[in-house]
Amino acid sequence: EPEVTQTPSHQVTQMGQEVILRCVPISNHLYFYWYRQILGQKVEFLVSFYNNEISEKSEIFDDQFSVERPDGSNFTLKIRSTKLEDSAMYFCASSEAGVNSPLHFGNGTRLTVT
Amino acid sequence: LAKTTQPISMDSYEGQEVNITCSHNNIATNDYITWYQQFPSQGPRFIIQGYKTKVTNEVASLFIPADRKSSTLSLPRVSLSDTAVYYCLVGDKEKLVFGTGTRLLVSP
């Protein structure tokens, strides 16, 4: 069964550094998402992306965050200047037809900001 | 924004049927209801999705009454490996928001 893959599985960075989290969505999917989950808390929506532009974003997704689909297969989340509170598990997801079809999630990147 | 409410936790024993009910009073006409399962340190995993009445797949059933203001996920004969957090979500444009979910603990 096709999967969403995320790299790296664990990223450690220093406060103020830029990080790029990478995702390869399922190949025929058109909708892409980033979520995050701080340890012990609920899964939080960050952003959705369709047709090369952001569809929706949450208040968490401020100017420090950006997303890009640089080629036909990758979907990236960039955090420009990381803060301690950005430490979390970041999940990428994709779907065939938006939120009224199943979202397929990757296994996440654990980001640790020191 | 369609908001969902679920029990925070449930306990069950192996072999029992588990029913988790979710309320979504302000569900929109076009919204589907989707349930996900999450194990620790893993991404949420799709279980089942429905619009109305009943949907069944190889792992679960989903019951949705006519007014669609609630739904019930039914897990037949749970095993220890079904211990997880279960989320009920209702579509809202392209912003699918997770609630706190229901933590299901299955004991021997």
| pLDDT tens-digit readout, B14-61 | 999 999 999 999 999 988 999 999 999 899 999 999 999 999 999 999
User: CA of A90 to nearest chain B CA: how many angstroms apart?
Assistant: 9
3 state DSSP class of B2: coil
pLDDT at A1 over 80: no
pLDDT given at position B2: 59
Alpha-carbon gap, residue A43 to A40, rounded angstroms: 10
The stretch A91-97 carries a mean pLDDT of: 94
Buried b (16+ CB within 10 A) or exposed e, B58-88: eebbbbbeeebebbbbbbeebeeebbbbbbb
pLDDT at A36 over 80: yes
CB contact under 8 A, A43 and B98: yes
Interface test with A, best of B52, B89, B95, B98 (most A CBs within 10 A): B95
Asked if residue A52 lies in contact with residue A69, where contact means CB atoms within 8 angstroms, the answer is: yes
CB contact under 8 A, A89 and B96: no
The stretch B78-88 carries a mean pLDDT of: 97
Maximum C-alpha span of chain A: 38
For chain B positions 1-40, those within 8 Å of chain A (CB to CB) are 30-32, 34, 36, 38
The stretch B58-82 carries a mean pLDDT of: 97
Ramachandran area for residue A27 (φ above 0: left; ψ -120 to 50: alpha; else beta):
alpha
